[in-house]
Amino acid sequence: MRRGLGWGLAAVAAVAVPLGLRACAEPLRVASPSMEPTLRVGDHVLVTKRPRRALRRGDVVAFRPPASWPAEGALVVKRVVALGGDTLRLRGDSVWVDGAMLSERSDAPRRVRLPATATLDEVRRCDAVAASRQEGGAVVAVADSAARTCLAPLGVERLANVPSRRETTVVVPSGAFFALGDFRAGSQDSRRYGAVPNAAVVGWAAWVLASYNETTRRRRAGRTFLRVE
């Protein structure tokens, strides 16, 4: 009888403990370059769910996309740049919140087109490249400033984005937030799909537990137990 009770308690614990831990936090693998350079493709991030608190501008949050957003996966990770009642002015990758310009990180990645002689395999071995694809007979990549060194042998010297002149004004509705990717030129976010309800937030991206180059499978040095800011 006691032995049966012991097995029963062990079975309950085996189910309850993981569920309890998942209620407080869960891991997430980054599959998109939209949050580069804060979060890189191949990062394994810890999303904390407890304790709950009010959203703040600058928070990096994981949320379930509303119906107006495409299905990127179980969770989407973006940065909160504005809250309910804020007014945004958007022009290309430039953003103003209540009249104040929101600066973009100086080390944010850029799009770059490589010559036709470059191959996808060569490009993807450069760890500073976040994403790449074949386009019109050439390779188009998303790369940060460090990529100049490893892409130089392939014929790339300058990394730059093409600016946009289109301008729009948005007022964030009450009970919602405006979400942007840190890599604005490569992020599908609230600029296209609208504000996100506060209730959609699952948790906050807190730590990068580990990071791997998706092509070479090599572990990235310096990206272990890294605080997300």
Give the model confidence (pLDDT) of 63-73 as tens digits.
Answer: 998 888 886 55
**pLDDT value, residue 12:** 39
d(CA 148, CA 140): 14
What pLDDT does residue 75 have?
Answer: 86
Name 201's bridge partners: 63
Output the pLDDT for position 105: 66
Tokens 């990770």 label which residue? Answer: 77
**Residues 224/88, Cβ–Cβ less than 8 Å:** no
Q: What value, to the nearest 5°, has the Cα angle with vertex 74 and ends 73 and 76?
A: 70
What was the pLDDT predicted at 15?
Answer: 39
| Rg, Å, the chain Cα set | 21
User: CA-CA distances (angstroms) from residue 179 to 63, 84, 88, 93, 163?
Assistant: 10, 12, 12, 13, 20
Cβ contact 81:97 at 8 Å: yes
The tokens 């990127």 sit on which residue?
Answer: 72
- Domain made up of 22-102+172-227: CATH architecture: Ribbon (2.10)
Work out the end-to-end distance of the chain between its first and last CA atoms, rounded to an integer number of angstroms. Answer: 53
pLDDT of 149 reads 67
Bond from prior residue into 51 cis (ω within 30 degrees of 0): yes
The predicted structure's pLDDT at residue 142: 63
At 18 the pLDDT is 45
The amino acid that residue 102 corresponds to is: L
> What is the full per-residue pLDDT of the chain (229 aa) written as tens digits?
545 545 443 443 333 334 345 678 999 999 888 898 899 889 999 999 977 889 999 999 999 988 888 865 578 999 999 999 999 998 877 889 999 998 776 566 666 666 667 776 777 777 666 666 666 666 667 666 666 667 767 666 555 554 555 788 999 999 999 999 988 877 889 988 899 999 999 999 999 999 998 778 889 888 999 999 9
